Amino acid sequence: DAGITQSPRHKVTETGTPVTLRCHQTENHRYMYWYRQDPGHGLRLIHYSYGVKDTDKGEVSDGYSVSRSKTEDFLLTLESATSSQTSVYFCAISVQEQGGGYTFGSGTRLTVV
Amino acid sequence: SQQGEEDPQALSIQEGENATMNCSYKTSINNLQWYRQNSGRGLVHLILIRSNEREKHSGRLRVTLDTSKKSSSLLITASRAADTASYFCATYNQAGTALIFGKGTTLSVSS
């Protein structure tokens, strides 16, 4: 998707290991979001950011932390991965200052074994 | 918790037919948005309808909004196989800080 990339695209990790997912944007947008998508649950908000070093929790933030030291990068960290965190993770940016639509990345498929 | 809920969960139609999916939401909104997700891909923004609008068109898409019933519908006319995807409605949370998505309607269009 134009302007937003997620890495890695796929990852398999062991229970108890730390994992960091990266979201990178090239368009200097202020608002960035992390969602997870699971069958039967749709998309659920994990954390979001409204500027450098400004982040807040979403609906399912337990077990996750985020950091935003630069406008273009929003990192999602699983401090100690669990099998329940096996999911597809999507990053999104808001193309307007609040209230508008989002542009999504292509997702990271994370499997915790 | 989900703000919007789509109905039906799944819909199968033939090419050329129209597809209608519905979204109900719980609290007052400034706007409601529809997204499409092809298998294995990220969501793509389709259309945004503001709370003071009743109907909006974009190509073969027609969206209606009834704020008195807290509901919206997405109509895709003359469906094509390429329309096969999941469709999600989304509204902002109470604080207005992030979009909350429904669980989606899976549309299958067969040729």
Supply the DSSP string of chain A, one letter for each residue.
Answer: -TTEEEE-SEEEE-TT--EEEEEEESS--S-EEEEEEETTTEEEEEEEEEETTEEEE-TT-TTEEEEEEETTEEEEEESS--GGG-EEEEEEEESSSSSS-EEE---EEEEE-
Which residue from B48, B93, B101 is facing A42, i.e. has the nearest CB?
B101
**Beta carbons within 8 Å of B68's beta carbon, 6+ residues apart:** none
> How many angstroms separate the CA of residue A95 from the nearest CA in chain B?
11
Yes or no, beta carbons of B97 and A98 under 8 Å apart? yes
CA distances from A45 to A13, A33, A110, B33, B60 (A): 22, 7, 16, 16, 30
Q: Which of A36, A94, A102 to mutate to test the interface with B (most CBs of B within 10 A)?
A: A102
- Tens-place pLDDT, residues B76-111: 999 999 999 999 999 998 888 899 999 999 999 999
* Domain count along chain B: 1
Query: For chain A, first and last CA: distance in Å?
Result: 29
Using 50, 70 and 90 to split pLDDT, how confident is the model at B73? Answer: very high
- Chain B residues with CB under 8 Å of A104 CB are 42-44
The residue segments making up the domain with residue B51 are 4-110
Yes or no, beta carbons of B45 and A101 under 8 Å apart? yes
Q: Which two tokens stand for residue B36?
A: 């499409």
B51 touching chain A per CB within 8 A: no
Q: Which two tokens stand for residue A63?
A: 């077990």
Q: What is the mean pLDDT of chain B?
A: 94
Using 50, 70 and 90 to split pLDDT, how confident is the model at A97? Answer: low
Q: Which of B61, B87, B97 to mutate to test the interface with A (most CBs of A within 10 A)?
A: B97
CA distances from B33 to A62, A79, B12, B66, B88 (A): 27, 33, 23, 13, 8
* Domain count along chain A: 1
CATH code at A108? 2.60.40.10
Using 50, 70 and 90 to split pLDDT, how confident is the model at A99? Answer: confident
Nearest CA in chain A to B4: A42
CATH code at B10? 2.60.40.10
Q: What is d(CA B33, CA B101) in angstroms, rounded to the nearest whole number?
A: 9
A105 touching chain B per CB within 8 A: yes
b (16+ CB within 10 A) / e for B34-48: bbbbeeeebbbbbbb
The residue segments making up the domain with residue A89 are 4-112
Does B2 score more than 60 pLDDT? no
Q: Of A20-34, A38-52, A85-99, which range is least confident? A: A85-99
**Beta carbons within 8 Å of B76's beta carbon, 6+ residues apart:** B18, B19, B20, B60, B61, B83, B107
Using 50, 70 and 90 to split pLDDT, how confident is the model at B1? Answer: very low
